[in-house]
Amino acid sequence: MSQEAVLSDVRRRAVEEAFTAMAPRLWRALLLYSGDRELADDAVSEAFTQSIAASSSIEDVRAWIWTAAFKIAAGEMRRRGGSAGGAIPVDLPVPEGMDAASLIDLVTALGQITEMQRRALILRHYLGYSNVEIARILGSSPASIGVQLFRSTRKLRGLLTEE
Count of all residues that appear for the chain in the document: 163
pLDDT for residue 37: 85
Q: Which residues of 47-79 are buried (b: 16+ CB within 10 A; e: fewer)?
A: bbebbeeebeebeebbbbbbbbbbbbbbebbee
Report pLDDT for 130: 93
- Predicted pLDDT of residue 14: 76
Residue 29 has a pLDDT of 85
One digit per residue, the tens of pLDDT, for the chain of length 163 reads 676 665 567 777 777 888 888 888 888 888 888 878 899 999 999 998 888 888 777 778 888 888 899 889 988 888 887 654 444 554 556 666 777 677 778 778 888 888 889 889 888 887 788 999 899 888 899 999 999 999 999 998 898 886 5
Q: Which of 75, 79, 100, 92 is nearest to 35 (CA)?
A: 92
Please give the sequence-ordered ranges of beta strands (E in DSSP) within the chain, or none if there are none.
none
Alpha-carbon distance values, 143 to 20, 132, 136, 163 (Å): 31, 9, 12, 31
The kind and range of the H/E element at 25 are helix 3-34
Q: Do residues 121 and 149 touch, judged by C-beta distance below 8 A?
A: yes
Residue 90 has a pLDDT of 47
pLDDT of residue 43: 94
At residue 155, the pLDDT reads: 92
